[in-house]
Structure 1
Amino acid sequence: MRHPGRWISAVIIIGALALFLQSLFTNPNFRWDVVGAYILDTKVVQGVVWTLVLTVASMILAIILAILLAFMRQSENPVFRWSSWTWVWFFRGTPVYTQLIFWGLIAVLYPKISAGVPFGPEMFSVDTSTVVTATVAAILGLGLNESAYLAEIFRAGLKSVDQGQMEAAEALGMGKTKIMWRIILPQAMRVIVPPTGNETIGMLKTTSLVLAVPFTLDLTFATNALANRTYLPVPLLIVAAIWYLVITSLLMVGQHFIEAYYGKGVDNRAPATVNPAAAKAAAAVAPSADAEPALKMDFPEEEAK
Structure 2
Amino acid sequence: MDTKIMPDLTIEVFGDTIELGGPSPVAAKIPRITLEHFCLRDAWLGDEKENPFIAAIATDYPSLINSRSLVAAIGNIDPKPVVICLETIDSGLRNAYHREGISFASEDGNAYLPFLKIQQAPASTRRKPEPLSPQAQRIVLNLIAGRWDGYSASALAELTKRSRASVTKYLKEIEAICPPLLKASWRVRALGNPRYSKDELLDIFEPYLKSPIKKVIRLSHLPAIDELKPLQPKLTGMSALPFFSDLAHDASRMTIMMDQEDIATLQAQTGSAWRETAWNEEPAFVIEEWTYPLDDASDRSIAATGLACVDPFSLYAELINDEHDDPRIHDAIDQLREQLCQQ
TM-score by length of 2: 0.21
TM-score by length of 1: 0.23
Bigger Cα Rg: 1
Q: Which has the higher contact order (CA 8 A, sep 6+)?
A: 1
Greater per-residue strand proportion: 2
